[in-house]
Amino acid sequence: MRLERLSLFLVELPLVAPFATSFGEERTKQAPLVSLTADGVMGWGECVAGSGPWYSWETVETARYVISEHIRPLLSSRKVFEHPSELPAALAPIRGHGMAKAAVEAALWDLYARLQRKPLYQLLGGVREAVPAGVSVGIQPDIPSLLAAVEGYLAEGYQRIKLKIKPGWDVEPLRAVRERFPDVLLSADANAAYTLADLPTLRELDRFGLLMLEQPLHFEDLLEHAQLARELATPICLDESITSARRAREALALGACRIINVKPGRVGGLTEALEIHALALERGIPLWCGGMLETGIGRALNVHLATLPGFTLPHDISATKRYFREDIADPPFELRDGHLPVPQRPGLGVEINWDRLLRSATWSRTWKL
Ligand code: SMG
Ligand code: MG
């Protein structure tokens, strides 16, 4: 592949409902979208950095800066790639900024798979044509609203319910959902809202038969998670703390988690995610694919990744309409028997809707490489 052009778009889409976590509430989705062109074919990637430095220190603005000012010159000086897995080494001079790098790598994978005329999952070694969908339920104003939301999602067919929790919204909502839906696969995600001083509360969560407790402690911590893991029966899953395959190896060596949530953006790209997958298979650690309220571009990437054999638990990959009334990619993802079908067309298998992209773009730029 001889790269010819790089484009960067900043899009903003309204969410169908506000999404609240332990670190705040989102009402719109902002996303940098990257396209790379070679041989007249265009590949797309989405950056999962948020509008502010809350989930991660990367933001849409740091991603725009790093892609425009640092990744672009590295692409320009190299231009030719035989395979997308060569990109991480080419970007190694840039330390950190994994979400910015991952967006560009995703565009290169899409481009590569389109040029090969194969759906991405076949190139990754995927083994499924549909992936089980779970849903992440934001912090609600009260228990009745929570129960109504969960009931609605279960009626739609979601296979696992994950509740966002924070101090003050933990034991009661989990108890209420567990009492009302005794058999549902249920998990909780704290987005790093607790400390070891909260051990008495976290111990209470053991009573609800949770599939896992996701990222209870500090976003960079491994040692305290290992300590907590020894105190709880519920398996700990790490999200924010696993920013690379290196960190995944450290976490497993320390006993900090028994399950890993893989987000290609958070770990610095698809190649790094594949390395975590290989490690998890070797160690017998179950994986699932997390979500960042992606548009259809990022959602498609997640669906392809989730087809790999080590991804054995339901994912945070929901139908498009759970987040957006109108997406910038077609066709929208729809639930079928609690699963999302894997796009079978070349590459990511979704197409940009240019009309909607241009209507939702707040900024864009194209460079010749
Ligand atoms: O895409 O369905 C989705 C969102 C899933 O809860 C979700 N993501 O910590 O796992 C997580 C959160 C991060 C995003 S919060 C803005
Ligand atoms: Mg999480």
Pairing of strands 24-38, 41-46: antiparallel
Alpha carbon of 21 to ligand 2 centroid (Å): 9
Atom of ligand 1 minimally distant from the CA of 293: 1
Q: Confidence band (pLDDT; 50, 70, 90) for 351?
A: very high
Q: What percentage of the chain carries pLDDT values higher than 90?
A: 100
Alpha carbon of 253 to ligand 1 centroid (Å): 26
**Can you read off the two tokens belonging to residue 336?**
């079928």
Residue with CA closest to ligand 1 atom 6: 136
Residue keyed to tokens 């650690």: 285
Alpha carbon of 81 to ligand 2 centroid (Å): 33
Pairing of strands 186-189, 213-214: parallel
Closest ligand by atom to 49 CA: 1
Among 198, 207, 214, 31, which residue's Cα sits nearest to residue 106? 31
Q: Confidence band (pLDDT; 50, 70, 90) for 334?
A: very high
Ligand 1: does its nearest atom lie under 6 Å from the Cβ of 316? yes
Residue type at 57 in one-letter notation = W
Q: What confidence tens digit (pLDDT) does each residue in 182-227 have?
A: 999 999 999 999 999 999 999 999 999 999 999 999 999 999 999 9
Residue with CA closest to ligand 1 atom 14: 292
Closest ligand by atom to 31 CA: 1
Alpha carbon of 289 to ligand 2 centroid (Å): 10
Q: Confidence band (pLDDT; 50, 70, 90) for 152?
A: very high
Q: What pLDDT is recorded for position 212?
A: 98
Atom of ligand 1 minimally distant from the CA of 162: 6
Q: What is the DSSP string of 117-149?
A: TSBHHHHHT---SEEEB-EEEPPPSSHHHHHHH
Q: What pLDDT is recorded for position 156?
A: 98
Q: What pLDDT is recorded for position 2?
A: 98
DSSP at 56: S
Q: What confidence tens digit (pLDDT) does each residue in 78-134 have?
A: 999 999 999 999 999 999 999 999 999 999 999 999 999 999 999 999 999 999 999
Q: What pLDDT is recorded for position 240?
A: 98
Residues 6+ apart with CB under 8 A from 169: 139
Alpha carbon of 291 to ligand 1 centroid (Å): 5
361-368 β-sheet, strand order? 41-46, 24-38, 5-21, 361-368
**Can you read off the two tokens belonging to residue 241?**
């703390």
The continuous run of DSSP H or E covering 202 comes out as: helix 199-204
**Can you read off the two tokens belonging to residue 129?**
């044509």
Ligand 1: does its nearest atom lie under 6 Å from the Cβ of 296? no
Q: What pLDDT is recorded for position 17?
A: 94
Best of 51, 139, 292 for a ligand 1 pocket test (most atoms within 8 Å of beta carbon): 292
The continuous run of DSSP H or E covering 164 comes out as: strand 161-164
How far is 109 from 86, CA to CA, in rounded Å? 11
Ligand 1: does its nearest atom lie under 6 Å from the Cβ of 46? no
Ligand 1: does its nearest atom lie under 6 Å from the Cβ of 216? no
Q: What pLDDT is recorded for position 104?
A: 98
How far is 231 from 304, CA to CA, in rounded Å? 36
Alpha carbon of 328 to ligand 1 centroid (Å): 19
Atom of ligand 1 minimally distant from the CA of 50: 16
Count Cα atoms within 13 angstroms, Cβ side, for 213.
Answer: 32
Catalytic positions, written as ranges: 164, 263
Atom of ligand 1 minimally distant from the CA of 191: 9
Q: What confidence tens digit (pLDDT) does each residue in 258-277 have?
A: 999 999 999 999 999 999 99
Q: Which CA distances in Å does 54 have to 17, 18, 108? A: 19, 16, 28
Ligand 1: does its nearest atom lie under 6 Å from the Cβ of 191? yes
Closest ligand by atom to 238 CA: 2
Query: What is the chain's length?
Result: 369
- Per-residue burial over 331-340, b if 16 or more Cβ lie within 10 Å, else e, is eebebeebbb
Q: What pLDDT is recorded for position 363?
A: 98
Mean pLDDT of the chain: 98
How far is 209 from 179, CA to CA, in rounded Å? 11
How far is 277 from 124, CA to CA, in rounded Å? 11
Alpha carbon of 334 to ligand 1 centroid (Å): 18
DSSP at 211: S
Residue with CA closest to ligand 1 atom 5: 291
Residue with CA closest to ligand 1 atom 4: 291
Is the overall model pTM greater than 0.85, yes or no? yes
Closest ligand by atom to 158 CA: 1
Contact present, 139 and 21 (Cβ < 8 Å): yes
Give the dihedral sign, CA 188/167/199/215.
Answer: positive
Residue keyed to tokens 């949530």: 261
Residues 6+ apart with CB under 8 A from 74: 90, 91, 93, 94
How far is 342 from 365, CA to CA, in rounded Å? 31
**Segments in 67-117 forming alpha helices (H):** 72-78, 87-91, 98-115
Give the dihedral sign, CA 230/21/31/68.
Answer: negative
Contact present, 217 and 192 (Cβ < 8 Å): yes
Q: What pLDDT is recorded for position 180?
A: 98
Average pLDDT in the 320-341 region? 98
Q: What confidence tens digit (pLDDT) does each residue in 153-185 have?
A: 999 999 999 999 999 999 999 999 999 999 999
